[in-house]
Amino acid sequence: MRNRGFTLLELLIAVVIVGVLAAIALPSYQNQIHKTRRSDAKSALVGAAGQMERYFTERGTYATATLGSGGVYPSSTQNGYYTLSFANLGATSYKLKATPAGAQVGDTCGALTYDDQGNKGITGTAPMDQCW
């Protein structure tokens, strides 16, 4: 009577197939996660820009605006994947910057920027159209 089961060779083939599938799928999955989390930064930048315009309307300057507790907008995004800061802040202009934090640090887009003229930018190596 012959025993039924897997041979070592069959098991190794199955492990190799699973390994190859994982090697292909994991980077794609991680890229999709980074892309999804970027929406957190985009919405925060646009929301903060709206608050900056309101601040300017009320006070006639951007120069005294702050982020964080007591500021015009929180200093981190809703889900905490980005921290917000001012890259440039003057009396009549500003540039907001969303810097990746925590699990988002490996994103190839780097920091996302948005200024008072509605110009969008990135500091990373990815193509601009893939980031915004």
Alpha-carbon distance of 95 to 24, in angstroms, equals 38
Question: What number is the average pLDDT over the span 10-38?
Answer: 89
Q: With cut-offs at 50, 70 and 90, classify the pLDDT of residue 1.
A: low
Alpha-carbon distance of 64 to 93, in angstroms, equals 12
Q: Which residues of 65-97 are buried (b: 16+ CB within 10 A; e: fewer)?
A: bebeeeebbbebbeeebbbbbbeebeeeebbbb
Q: How far apart are the first and last CA of the chain?
A: 65
Question: What number is the average pLDDT over the span 3-23?
Answer: 87
**Taking 80 as the threshold, does the pLDDT of residue 116 lie above it?**
yes
Residue 7's pLDDT is 87
Q: What is the mean pLDDT of the chain?
A: 92
Model confidence, pTM: 0.79
**Taking 70 as the threshold, does the pLDDT of residue 100 lie above it?**
yes
Residue 80's pLDDT is 92
